[in-house]
Amino acid sequence: MLGDPLLSGGIGLEEVLIVLVKAGVAFGVMLLAVILMIWFERKVISDLQNRVGPNQAGPFGLLQTIADGIKLIFKEDLIPNRADRWVFALAPFLLLVPAFVSFGIVPLGGDFQDNGGVVSWFGRDTYLQLADPPIGILVLLAMSSIGVYGMMLAGWSSGSKYPLLGSVRASAQAISYEAALGLSLVSVIIVSGSLSTHDIVASQAGEGFFGFVPNWNLLLTGVVPFVIFLLAAAAELNRAPFDLVEAEQELVGGFHTEYSSIRFGHFYLAEYMNLITMSAIMVTLFLGGPAGPIFGPGFLHPVLPVVWFFLKVMLFLFAAVWARATVPRFRYDQLMGLGWKVLIPLSLGWLLLLATVRVGDDQGWNYLVVVAVCMGVLVGAAALMAAALSSAHKDRIAEEVS
């Protein structure tokens, strides 16, 4: 836990300027990524639906998002009569700023195999990430809990009923799934032994089983936390199939129904920023971050990790678009049932299993016996819970019929 080598030798004007430039570059990268992501999503969805998609603005329609952005800026900015103006203006930023801040903790590159993730540019050693706070991944949880305000206040301050319904849905969904998200995160923290994102990536460097299987948390935590995190993240992001927040048939457009012009643009931007950030976080936590084979001439060495990172993030982004184009939306009770009755108990149980295996490792217990006993207990608990759920369900049916 050494922290960024850039800041280890005291903080002067030069360091402050470097950090500011890093923040500016990170913001630029994020904006560019959002612009390309929106284009990518529209193109892929068009392909999946047998359409052409945007093809007029620029080559392959690449400039479509910029055209849409300019259009949004020049549209009339409407504020409903009954809106709380101050909160109405504040809400988009409460969503936008956390979305960017949590991107700051993601290591985007650096050779973790030989170099400990340190890159040397212009004579200064630094990490290829905006910040590496000791609390690392907790920043993500803190920021996603701040993002709830953005959704809640946007709906409430509009002074209109559909946005309010949408915001109640959105905040209930975000709060419910944050528990499962946090619990599957703890599994990663237990295995990696650190909260810092840089250390989590560093702990996944190196050879895994048999010399060719990667030493990634995806395998070390036993895949289950990854699946839970993926589902919870999709729900947290209000992505399909969990996009009940903006179910057009029921709610018009969700919590941002009353927003127009660039204020709506902010929500749109925040949504895609969150999507990219979450994908990057998943790569960091489970897929070894920028880890990958490094070969070729010397000038390729700092570039290749960034390429691997980009490809892994693209995997998640494509999966998100794919799910949106193919999976039908959940019903609200199904959503809550999945979150509270399946994901949270499962992630809790899996966390206990991982913790027990760790303790067994320290105490020198027989690995197979520990796993067998844990699995037995877990299956027993699952059976008890299933029995309780089914009897509760029967009671409810009986109550409704009587």
Partner 1 sequence: METFVFLVGAAVILAGALGVVLSASATRAALSLIGTLFGIAVLFVAQEAHFLAAVQVIVYAGAIVVLFLFVLMLLGVDTTEDLSIEPITAQRPAAIVAGLAFFGMVMLALSAGADSVTGMPGAFDPVAGTVPDIVALGRSIFTTHVFALEATALLLTIAVVGAVVLVRKAETIDPDDDISPQLQDASTEDGEEA
- Which of 31, 62, 146, 314 binds partner 1 (CB under 8 A)? It is 146
CB of 53 to partner 1, least distance (A): 38
Task: Give yes or no for residue 160 binding partner 1 (CB under 8 A).
Answer: no
Site for partner 1 in 73-112 (CB under 8 A): 84, 86-87, 90
- Which of 156, 177, 259, 316 binds partner 1 (CB under 8 A)? It is 156
Tokens of 206: 């190196």
Nearer to partner 1, 81 or 402 (CB): 402
Tell me if residue 245 falls in helix, strand or coil.
Answer: helix
Radius of gyration of the chain (CA): 23
221-260 mask for partner 1 (x: CB under 8 A)?
Answer: ----------------------------------------
- Which of 119, 152, 201, 205 binds partner 1 (CB under 8 A)? It is 152
Site for partner 1 in 168-207 (CB under 8 A): 171, 175, 195
- Give CA 82 to chain center in angstroms: 34
326-365 mask for partner 1 (x: CB under 8 A)?
Answer: ----------------------------------------
Contact 333, 296 (CB under 8 A): no
What is the Cα–Cα distance from 115 to 119, expressed in whole angstroms?
Answer: 8
Task: Give yes or no for residue 388 binding partner 1 (CB under 8 A).
Answer: no
Task: Give yes or no for residue 398 binding partner 1 (CB under 8 A).
Answer: yes
Task: Give yes or no for residue 299 binding partner 1 (CB under 8 A).
Answer: no
What is the Cα–Cα distance from 291 to 204, expressed in whole angstroms?
Answer: 8
- Which of 130, 139, 188, 285 binds partner 1 (CB under 8 A)? It is 139
Nearer to partner 1, 126 or 167 (CB): 167
* Residue the block writes with tokens 């699946």: 227
Contact 139, 101 (CB under 8 A): yes
**37 C-beta neighbours (distance < 10 Å), count:** 21
> If you write DSSP's letter for every residue of 1-27 in order, what string do you get?
----TTTTT---HHHHHHHHHHHHHHH
Which of 9, 289, 29 minimizes the C-alpha distance to 124?
9
Element (H, E) at 398: helix 367-401
Chain residues binding partner 1 by CB under 8 A are: 1, 11, 84, 86-87, 90, 133-135, 138-139, 141-142, 145-146, 148-149, 152-153, 156, 171, 175, 195, 395, 398-402
